[in-house]
Amino acid sequence: MRIQILADVGEGLTIPINYNHWLSATIYHFLARSDGAYAHFLHNDGYIVEKKHFKLFTFSQLMARQRCVQGQTIQFRSTLVWYVSSPIERFLTHFADTLLTEGRLFVGPHRLQIQDVRVPRAPHFTSEMRFRCLSPIVMSASRRREGQPYCHYCTPDDAELPELIRKNLHRKHEAIYGNQPPHDDRLSFHFDAGYLHRKRGRVTRLVDYKGIKIRGTLCPFRVIGSPALIRVGYECGFGDKNSAGFGMVEI
């Protein structure tokens, strides 16, 4: 399930283009105000499968009809729209509880009056679906250079990307439900070739998250396979680093 938040920016809001860490901090702050033990668990451990830690939530970029990027800042001049999503009821309950009690959205040092909070209807999940990104999709892989390990961020032309995404969703499904996907665990993942051609491949974005450079892809895509795995991607994000604001999509 996901929550849509609409906030008033008054005469305008100007923030750094690398603001993901502010939104992540807001989420943990709201959780801690409602249930400190759960916020501590999620921040420090999360849900563990095969030695991988999953927070099982994601969030979108900040959106507005009137916005403008100027250098290293972005300006919003109309109602701010933000989505937060998770398949975990406990997460959404505590997040929404504080959100409604506070009546304000924290974006770094800014306090924005909330206009409305909505719960969009979930789509019907089928074996073939098309999505567009509300935040960049990140998929990392450990590689070695001159004998030293380093983190490689996959780009749309990486042959291993679809299988890495499938395995990632598989682990998330087990973290959420405690078991493997029923009946079918197939999944193929294809970025939109026409969109890539029109953009001449310029679909990646480098985000600075508290000093860490993370490269993700903003491109429509198609998935074919297990509806259960597709639902996991929709609810808690495709790819990894979802809790840092990556991998959120919509139909």
Say what the pLDDT of residue 51 is.
87
Domain boundaries, the chain: 2-118, 128-250
Which residue in 164, 141, 169 sits closest to 236, CA to CA? 169
Domain 128-250 has CATH 3.30.2420.10: no
Taking a C-beta distance cutoff of 8 angstroms, is the pair 85, 76 a contact? no
Average pLDDT over residues 207-227: 96
Q: Which DSSP symbol is given to 115?
A: E
Topology (CATH level 3) of domain 2-118: Alpha-Beta Plaits (3.30.70)
Q: Is 176 helix (H, G, I), strand (E, B) or coil?
A: helix
Say what the pLDDT of residue 184 is.
82
If you average pLDDT over every residue of the chain, what do you get?
95
Question: How confident is residue 81, by pLDDT bands cut at 50, 70 and 90?
Answer: very high
Give the pTM: 0.94
Residues in contact with 113: Cβ distance below 8 Å, sequence separation at least 6, in sequence order: 7, 8, 103, 104
> Same fold for the domain at 2-118 and the one at 128-250?
yes
